[in-house]
């Protein structure tokens, strides 16, 4: 009987942008997909589904399973999300819905992610901190595996967790907390003023939150979107003209107005946030959520039992800044317990973004194997460990692994796709460079010291000693620069 079942692991894996594990036979697998393959139950797995259930969330911008009109719709949706930064909302709700459908009191919630998928995982943790796991709807108990679960998930993400998105945290936090309290009371997820569930373990690889395109790319995508809008208006105008025998100009104006109004409604129904104080006479307030690449939610809730973050030392793209994480000001830290793993660990590793989170060819994945091995060890060292089928994963970590540089890679890509007579004009097109800022006391994985000790390491470009400028003043390595 289900009521007598033992607590289980509910594990959510959220992958990075463009990652859609399992779609292609020979693909570049991220560490998230490798962990998913090794921990999911199935006919080819040793993992018992009574002990662990698993959900894989493909990265933003993937087209897995899309064909015909569906692929066109997803392409347009991806374009819109690239311009507005809105695509992550659906991913968060997908993950949260899975938890709603499978959670029972006592179950342990695990969240893993890479890149923007790491930010997705952290955002799911925020939804849980605010809303818990709902058990009721106005009509009665919340039915699992029905549309009601998705509707409640969307409400929690859009109306509660994203309240104040993109604005300084302090500006709307009191309103968000009040909305969360109302949600928990309405949906039976409040226990003594707190959420009824929290993540047991969060493990993320190099969190970034580039929620929308920037600069020239944003302008270019906006232009494409404008052309699509104009083409849609022209098509609709043709239909109106033929149905009602109106003039072309009038038909086009009507069609364009309809498309603009529909677009505005679709945007405002999720971006417009409202709050009505519970006190009599309180005035309703309004604001627009801004997925602008600023004011990310960086809070790690105290109720999270274990949190681990693997961070890239050598990522140097300005568009891939790490998103800080921690308890935050005025938030009590979770206390350490003697003899048990630390509640919160952030570890730095040699390599760029995907050298930490994976997705390069296997022959070039020794650095990402280091970070993956560490994450698996951490997840299996806690009191109630992640269940892993060791026959499904084999790692070969090495401190002398190939180190990649996407700034160089972008230059090579632009050059290879540009006619030779235009290359002088395009040779400066690449990622904007901004090395990461890290403290002189930042915690380094032992493999970083091993890499420093080598005479030369393979890098994209030229081999040489490992001497990243960002570690010049670090307490462990400053002597190497003398």
Cα-based torsion angle of the residue sequence 401, 406, 407, 412 in order, rounded to the nearest 10 degrees: 100
445, with CB counted inside 10 A (0-12, 13-18, 19+), is: buried
Coil, strand, or helix at residue 168?
A: coil
Coil, strand, or helix at residue 178?
A: helix
In sequence order, what are the residues at sequence separation of 6 or more whose Cβ sits closer than 8 angstroms to the Cβ of residue 217? Answer: none
Does this model's pTM top 0.85? Answer: yes
> CA-CA distance, 146 to 267, in Å (whole number)?
26
In sequence order, what are the residues at sequence separation of 6 or more whose Cβ sits closer than 8 angstroms to the Cβ of residue 172? Answer: 163, 164, 273, 275, 287
Q: What is the pLDDT of residue 84?
A: 55
φ/ψ region of 115 (left if φ > 0, alpha if ψ in -120 to 50, else beta) reads left
Q: What is the pLDDT of residues 298-332, one digit of tens each?
A: 889 899 999 999 999 999 998 888 888 987 665 56
Are residues 273 and 291 in contact, defined by beta-carbon separation less than 8 angstroms? no
337, with CB counted inside 10 A (0-12, 13-18, 19+), is: exposed
Q: What is the pLDDT of residue 66?
A: 46
What are the structural domain ranges in the chain?
Answer: 2-74+87-212+293-392, 215-273, 405-436
Q: What is the pLDDT of residue 359?
A: 93
Q: Residue-wise pLDDT tens for the chain (482 aa)?
A: 445 579 999 999 999 865 555 555 556 899 999 999 999 999 999 999 999 999 999 876 555 544 445 555 555 655 565 555 567 888 999 999 999 999 999 999 999 999 999 999 999 999 999 999 999 999 999 999 999 999 999 999 999 999 988 888 888 999 999 999 999 999 999 999 999 999 999 999 999 876 655 555 556 656 666 777 777 778 877 888 778 878 878 877 887 888 888 878 877 877 888 888 887 767 888 888 876 555 567 889 899 999 999 999 999 998 888 888 987 665 567 888 888 899 999 999 999 999 999 999 999 999 999 999 999 999 999 999 999 999 999 999 999 999 999 988 888 788 788 887 777 777 777 788 999 999 999 999 999 999 999 999 999 888 999 999 999 999 999 999 98
């Amino acid at each position: 009987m289900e009521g007598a079942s033992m607590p289980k692991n509910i594990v959510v894996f959220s992958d990075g942008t463009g990652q859609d594990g399992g779609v292609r036979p020979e693909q570049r697998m991220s560490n998230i997909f490798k962990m998913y393959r090794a921990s999911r139950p199935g006919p080819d797995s040793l993992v018992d589904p009574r002990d662990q259930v698993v959900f894989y969330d493909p990265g933003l911008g993937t087209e897995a399973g899309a064909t015909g009109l569906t692929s066109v719709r997803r392409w347009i949706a991806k374009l819109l999300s690239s311009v507005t930064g809105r695509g992550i909302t659906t991913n968060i709700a997908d993950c949260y819905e899975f938890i709603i459908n499978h959670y029972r009191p006592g179950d342990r919630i695990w969240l893993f992610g890479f890149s923007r998928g790491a930010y997705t995982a952290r955002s799911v943790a925020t939804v849980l901190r605010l809303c818990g796991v709902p058990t009721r709807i106005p009509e009665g108990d919340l039915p699992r595996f029905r549309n009601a679960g998705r509707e409640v998930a969307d409400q929690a993400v859009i109306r509660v967790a994203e309240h104040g998105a993109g604005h300084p945290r302090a500006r709307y936090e009191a309103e968000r907390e009040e909305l969360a309290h109302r949600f928990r009371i309405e949906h039976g997820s409040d226990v003594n003023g707190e959420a009824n569930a929290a993540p047991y373990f969060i493990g993320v690889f190099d969190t970034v939150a580039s929620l929308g395109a920037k600069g020239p790319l944003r302008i270019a995508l906006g232009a494409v979107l404008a052309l699509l809008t104009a083409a849609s208006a022209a098509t609709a105008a043709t239909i109106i003209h033929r149905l009602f025998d109106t003039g072309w100009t009038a038909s086009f104006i009507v069609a364009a107005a309809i498309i603009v109004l529909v677009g505005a409604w679709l945007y405002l129904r999720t971006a417009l946030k409202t709050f009505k104080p519970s006190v009599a006479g309180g005035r309703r307030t309004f604001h627009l959520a801004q997925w602008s690449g600023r004011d990310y939610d960086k809070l790690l809730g105290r109720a999270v039992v274990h949190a681990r973050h693997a961070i890239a030392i050598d990522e140097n793209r300005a568009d891939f800044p790490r998103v800080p994480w921690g308890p935050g000001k005025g938030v009590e830290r979770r206390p350490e317990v003697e003899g048990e793993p630390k509640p919160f660990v952030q570890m730095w590793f040699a390599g760029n973004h995907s050298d930490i989170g994976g997705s390069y060819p296997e022959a070039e994945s020794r650095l990402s194997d280091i970070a993956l091995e560490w994450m698996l060890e951490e997840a299996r060292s806690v009191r109630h460990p992640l269940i892993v089928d060791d026959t499904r994963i084999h790692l070969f970590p090495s401190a002398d692994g190939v180190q990649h540089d996407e700034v160089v890679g972008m230059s090579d890509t632009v050059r290879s796709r540009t006619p030779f007579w235009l290359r002088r004009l395009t040779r400066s097109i690449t990622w904007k460079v901004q090395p990461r800022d890290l403290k002189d006391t930042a915690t380094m994985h032992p493999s970083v010291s091993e890499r420093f000790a080598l005479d030369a390491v393979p890098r994209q470009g030229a081999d040489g000693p490992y001497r990243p400028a960002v570690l010049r003043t670090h307490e462990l390595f400053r002597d190497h620069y003398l």
